[in-house]
């Protein structure tokens, strides 16, 4: 059965690849991102790209109003927009940290607030929130990113209980290492931080590991995410969490069962 699907953060990576798959499967797919020029190929495939910034309430309202006017409903909202802010807590300007939270957490919440009333009225719908394996564990230099994804986890759990009486599913997607722009963004951020930073040695080691992962077999293809999203959308009763991609399951398992100090030692052994 064809569904009306709204995907944020669809100009590249997981969002874009999944949008292509869903369009091919006959769904009506609206894709939003700031870089609309990078979604022109989705339009040629039959998608509906719209320029939108998840931190702009007017943009969000315009997108939701447009979809409701054209389709009368939104069956699936995939809150996928987000990015990783990397650097030490000491070095990262708090304005940058606030922006991280604004995009990764409050942008997701704003989208949900605009779409949920229509799902409640229909007494059905699915909301997928992109977290990360980083929402359950941690690496040094990623404090604000991990904080945002831990927040996504907690918000999603509460939302799931709130919307359950209205027949709406809330699903958390927890990707591991996926071959996207994520690594290159991390490296660019490190380059912007003070060269004399006390944490430069640690940053250099993380950067080196990131480059090796990108060059070798350190990441899963975005298709593992599209497979998971298709499974969620087609399921009448999806699981509450889908942990997919390189290292996602083993890393979260170690974090859950090995305790803080042992996990700390494992992480720092890679530094």
The reply to whether 198 falls in a domain is no
Q: Tell me the CA distances in angstroms from 62 to 6, 58, 107, 250, one per residue in order.
A: 13, 6, 15, 41
CATH number at residue 112: 3.40.50.720
Q: Is 11 a catalytic residue?
A: yes
**Looking at 30, 145, 199, 242, which residue is catalytic?**
145
DSSP conformation class of 48: E
Q: How far apart are CA 202 and CA 162, in angstroms?
A: 42
> Residue 249: is its pLDDT beyond 60?
yes
Q: Which of 3, 11, 30, 242 is catalytic?
A: 11
Domain-embedded: residue 210: no
In a domain, 197, yes or no: no
Entry pTM: 0.93
Count of domains in the chain? Answer: 1
Average pLDDT, the chain: 92
Q: How confident is the model at residue 218 (pLDDT cuts 50, 70, 90)?
A: low
Please report which helix (H) or strand (E) contains residue 212, including its range.
helix 200-215
Is 118 among the domain residues? yes
Note the pLDDT of residue 183. 62
* Torsion sign over Cα 102, 106, 110, 111: positive
The answer as to whether 98 is a domain residue is yes
Q: State the residue range of the domain holding 169.
A: 4-180+220-269
Q: Exactly one of 131, 132, 219, 226 is catalytic; which is it?
A: 131
268 versus 171: the higher-pLDDT residue is 171
**Rounded distance, CA 91 to CA 194, Å?**
8
Inside any domain, residue 123: yes
Q: Which tens digit of pLDDT belongs to each residue from 73-98?
A: 999 999 999 999 999 999 999 999 99
Catalytic residue among 16, 149, 242, 246: 149
Reported as a pLDDT band with limits 50, 70 and 90, residue 220 is confident
Q: Please check whether residue 171 lies inside any domain of the structure.
A: yes
> Would residue 187 count as lying in a domain?
no
**pLDDT tens, residue by residue, 109-164:** 999 999 999 999 999 999 999 999 999 999 999 999 999 999 999 999 999 999 99
């Amino acid at each position: 059965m064809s569904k009306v699907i709204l995907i944020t953060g669809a100009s590249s990576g997981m969002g874009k690849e999944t949008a292509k798959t869903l369009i091919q499967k006959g769904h009506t797919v609206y894709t939003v991102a700031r870089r609309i020029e990078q979604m022109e190929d989705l339009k040629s495939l039959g998608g509906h790209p719209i320029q939108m910034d998840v931190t702009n309430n007017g943009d969000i309202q315009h997108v939701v109003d447009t979809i409701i006017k054209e389709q009368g409903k939104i069956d699936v909202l995939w809150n996928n927009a987000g990015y990783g802010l990397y650097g030490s807590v000491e070095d990262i300007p708090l304005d940058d940290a606030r922006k991280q939270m604004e995009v990764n957490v409050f942008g997701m919440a704003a989208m949900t607030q605009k779409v949920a009333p229509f799902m409640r009225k229909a007494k059905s719908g699915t909301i997928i929130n992109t977290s990360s394996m980083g929402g359950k564990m941690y690496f040094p230099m990623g404090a604000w990113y991990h904080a945002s994804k831990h927040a996504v986890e907690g918000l999603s759990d509460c939302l799931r209980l709130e919307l359950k009486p209205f027949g709406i599913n809330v699903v958390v997607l927890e990707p591991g290492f996926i071959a996207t722009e994520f690594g290159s963004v991390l490296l660019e951020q490190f380059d912007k931080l003070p060269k004399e930073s006390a944490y430069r040695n640690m940053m250099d080691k993380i950067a080196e590991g990131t480059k090796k992962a990108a060059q070798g077999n350190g990441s899963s293809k975005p298709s593992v995410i599209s497979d998971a999203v298709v499974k969620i959308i087609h399921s009448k009763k999806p699981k509450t969490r889908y942990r997919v991609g390189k290292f996602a399951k083993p890393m979260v398992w170690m974090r859950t069962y090995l305790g803080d100090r042992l996990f700390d030692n494992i992480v720092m052994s890679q530094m």
